[in-house]
Amino acid sequence: MNLISQKLLTNPVIKDLIDNGDYSNAAKQLLESQKISWKLLESNYEAIENVQIKSFWFDGFKIKVQFNPERIKSTAAEVDAKSVAERACFLCVENLPEEQKGIILLDKFLLLCNPYPIFPQHFTISSLEHQPQRIEENFNEMLVISKLLSPGYTLVYNGPECGASAPDHFHFQVGTKIFMPVEDDVQQMKNDFGNVIIDDEKRILSLIDDGIRRIILIESSDQSEINKIFKKIFKGYKKIALNPVEPMLNIICNYENEFGWNVIIFLREKHRPKYFYSKEPERILVSPAAIDLGGILITPREKDFIGINKDLVGEIFNEVSLNKKTFTLLEENLKEEFI
């Protein structure tokens, strides 16, 4: 705990905010303080102020492409078991940069500024213990923390085989709320492409196929109900996916006082598209995870940013998303479970 205490940023403003339960503004203060004391963080935040973005409109929703060179390390990360085992865990407290400080959450997580931001405000929440990236036993904490950090932020989870650059150390990402287009678009997507399985006073469960992504949407202000639904979904998906580690998924979770939680689950078929492994010049260095599928596709190379178009975005998302046949099977199973 002594090592952990050395990594905590304590000042009167942050302490007062935390004492009053205002973790959203405490996170903002942490970021402002770290920009002053951590040169790399300051430099990379200055860089994203001028980041290049282009947008593509699909049928009722938008996908943005962001040219972000600083994300090259994450996008191209080797996450196979051998590579992970041979490197030091960059989320373990003893391996954090000297300048990096954080805030304790729920006595088991550390809120840290992400030095390679995508969002206007971007954080990582890492477990104090070195444990594998698994959502099943940590899903409730995702709900709790998303409420704790509202109204300013949205939580993101990437599965160990579909986007997590540290599959050996449990963590969430946190970003500015409503920055990802899907947060604004999901209700229209539900209306246009959704199949509502449950809709009562406690919860709404919808399955959405927008043509390029396969999505499950859970809406409720009742935490226990969301947990129950997620457990059933996870169990059914795991059985169909036949994955001994964890069925491939990415999650975006936010909380609004008036409405409760929105949990957006992207179901996955593959970690990376064929273009990631292609030879130059056909190669496109993209590795879709929750933020990308949420509508901010990251391209760390300028040539890929310039060359990518709407058709390629749709092809890439379709390839890495769960195939339509399995999605339909899961939908049928969930109908039997809930109806």
DSSP strand pairing (62-67 vs 296-299): parallel
Q: What is the DSSP string of 160-216?
A: TTTT-S-TTS-EEEEEETT-SHHHHHHHHHHHHHEEEEEESSSEEEEEEE-SS-EEE
Share of the chain above pLDDT 70, in %: 100
Would you say residue 46 has pLDDT above 80? yes
**pLDDT tens track for 270-311:** 999 999 999 999 999 999 999 999 999 999 999 999 999 999
Point out the least confidently predicted range of 2-11, 89-98, 253-262: 2-11
Q: How far apart are CA 26 and CA 15, in angstroms?
A: 8
* Coil/strand/helix, residue 95: helix
Q: What number is the average pLDDT over the span 46-71?
A: 95
pLDDT of 1 strictly over 80? no
pLDDT at 247: 96
Task: Quote the pLDDT of residue 150.
Answer: 94
At 29 the pLDDT is 97
Confidence of residue 73 (pLDDT cuts 50, 70, 90): confident
Q: Quick check: 335 pLDDT over 90?
A: yes
Mean pLDDT across the stretch 76-102? 92
**What does the pLDDT read at residue 240?**
93
**What are the C-alpha distances in Å from 204 to residues 156, 197, 223, 335, 338?**
20, 8, 13, 13, 11
**Beta strand spans in the chain (E):** 52-57, 62-67, 102-105, 109-113, 122-127, 153-158, 171-176, 194-199, 203-209, 214-220, 249-256, 260-267, 296-299
How far, in Å, CA of 6 to CA of 15, rounded? Answer: 16
Answer whether 197's CB lies under 8 Å from 215's CB.
Answer: no
Mean pLDDT value of segment 203-217: 98
How far is it, in rounded angstroms, from Cα 158 to Cα 172?
A: 7
Nearest-angstrom CA–CA distance, 69 and 263: 30
Per-residue pLDDT band at 17 (split at 50, 70, 90):
very high
Adjacency order of strands within the sheet including 62-67: 52-57, 62-67, 296-299
At residue 225, does pLDDT exceed 90?
yes
Query: Confidence class of residue 92 from pLDDT cuts 50, 70 and 90?
Result: very high
pLDDT tens digits along 109-156: 999 999 999 999 999 999 999 999 999 999 999 999 999 999 999 999
Mean pLDDT of the chain: 95
* Predicted pLDDT at 304: 98
Per-residue model confidence as pLDDT tens digits over 232-270: 999 999 999 988 889 999 999 999 998 999 999 999 999
The position carrying tokens 């971007």 is: 122
The residue-averaged pLDDT of 76-86 equals 87
Calculate mean pLDDT across residues 16-26: 96
Read off the tokens for 11. Answer: 């000042």
pLDDT at 136: 96
Report whether pLDDT(164) > 90. Answer: yes
